Amino acid sequence: MTRVAVLGGGRSPEHDVSLRSAAAVVAALDAAGHEPVGITILRDGGWSGGGLERASFAAGVALLASCDVVFPVLHGAPGEDGAIAAVADLAGLPVVGSPLIAGAIAMDKHATKAVAAALGIRVAPGLLLLPGEPVPQVALPAVVKPTAAGSSVGVAVVTDPADLPAAVAAARAVGEAVLIEHYVRGREVQLAVVERRDGSLAVPPPIEYAVQAGDVFDTSQKYDGTAVVRFPAEVDEATEVALRAAAARLFRALGCRGLSRFDFFVTADGFLLNEVNTMPGMTPQSGFPRMCRAGGLDLPALVDELVAVAQRG
């Protein structure tokens, strides 16, 4: 029986969603015959669980060291950006998910799109607004987003120039570097990539979320059950083959490990990368486990596979 430390919560705005994902992973690990140890990183940075109550980081690391594998189910930074992977690596512990470098690059939307563009994968035109730089004049409509956040936190579609400064300020409240991108009118199609214990990649059928023109597929829609979902996504065979190939190639290029989710916009002119999530949601409403089930991996089988990949080294 493998003792697995499952980390949830964290200091990011996605704290509550992470707790729900972590709870699902704990239940799945238990069903798969492992010994999960649920650990919560509190909003103030304290650690709780496994016999700890509001313990220090040092005590939390000692708890991790008592386990065989670390499974950080953390969404957003710090955590999904490779921070916990680095801690586990320094402690010599196998960790589920991407290593430090891949987590850090994938968390940064600007850096991720630079890698995608180098591979020939299209991305939306845009500009990077660094901390302290004035808000520029841009063609509208545009999408404003923090470079390092998930679950659509701090994202806004701007159609009126008067609204741009407020949108930038809201994005900067999440992370000071901001992306301002050309608004893409397309269908949001997501793909799961899972690394199997033999090193091969599985890319199950994609899922599609219907979003009204001008809207953002925001945090509430993602997790309150109101999203309009098409599964499998209604894309033609050639597009699906190309999407799967792009997701798998980008997984390898970024140095991802274990699992990642790749979000694309499919338009009349082809598809564009939106973002990458190296620790996608695992809640009952999340698309990632739903895609994996369609690919033959229910959640217990999925987490068992991910623990095996982590232990393989």
Tell me the whole-structure pTM to 2 decimals. Answer: 0.92
Place of tokens 């930074």: 77
Of the chain, the percentage scoring pLDDT greater than 70 comes to 94
Q: Is pLDDT of 220 > 70? A: no
CATH superfamily of 126-182: ATP-grasp fold, A domain (3.30.1490.20)
Tokens of 62: 């000692």
Burial of 214 (C-beta count, 10 Å sphere; 0-12/13-18/19+): exposed
What CATH fold (topology level) applies to the domain 104-123+184-312? D-amino Acid Aminotransferase; Chain A, domain 1 (3.30.470)
158/164 Cα distance (integer angstroms): 6
Helix-, strand-, coil-residue percentages of the chain, each rounded to 5: 35, 25, 40
What CATH fold (topology level) applies to the domain 3-96? Rossmann fold (3.40.50)
156/254 Cα distance (integer angstroms): 27
What's the confidence (pLDDT) of residue 219? 52
pLDDT band at residue 223 using 50, 70 and 90 as cut-offs: very low
HSE on the CB side for 100, CA within 13 Å?
A: 7
Is 254 in contact with 276 (CB distance < 8 Å)? yes
Sorted by where each begins, the domain ranges of the chain are 3-96, 104-123+184-312, 126-182
pLDDT in tens, 267-277: 999 999 999 99
Least confident of 39-53, 145-159, 197-211, 261-275: 145-159
